[in-house]
Structure 1
Amino acid sequence: MVTPHDGMPSPARAVYAISVAAELAGVGVQTLRLYEQHGLLTPERSTGGTRRYSGDDLTRLHRITTLTGEGINLAAVARILELEDTVTALRAERDRLRAETK
Structure 2
Amino acid sequence: MDEQSPVFAIAMAAELADMHPQTLRQYDRLGLVSPQRTAGKSRRYSLRDVEQLREIAKLSAAGITLEGIRRILELENEVSGLRRRVRDLEAALSDELLSRPGSRVFAAGPAGDVTSLRHGTRTRRRTEVVVWQSKKTT
Task: Give the structure-2-normalised TM-score.
Answer: 0.65
1:60 to 52, 66, 72: 52
Partner secondary structure for residue 82 of structure 1: helix
2:5 to 1, 13, 29: 13
Number of the residue aligned with 2:65? 73
Q: Deviation per CA, 1:53-100: give whole Å up to 9, x if none.
A: 111111111111111111111000000001111111111111111111
Equivalences for 1:14-93 in 2 at 5 Å?
14-93=6-85
User: Larger relative CO (CA 8 A, sep 6+): 1 or 2?
Assistant: 1
Structure 1 unmatched ranges of 5 or more: 1-8
Structure 2 unmatched ranges of 5 or more: 95-138
What do you get for the CA RMSD once the two structures are aligned?
0.9
Number of aligned residues: 94
Greater fraction of residues in helix: 1
> Rg bigger for which structure?
2
Task: Give the structure-1-normalised TM-score.
Answer: 0.87
User: Shift in Å at residue 20 of structure 1?
Assistant: 0.7
| 4+ runs deviating over 4 angstroms | none
Partner secondary structure for residue 15 of structure 1: coil
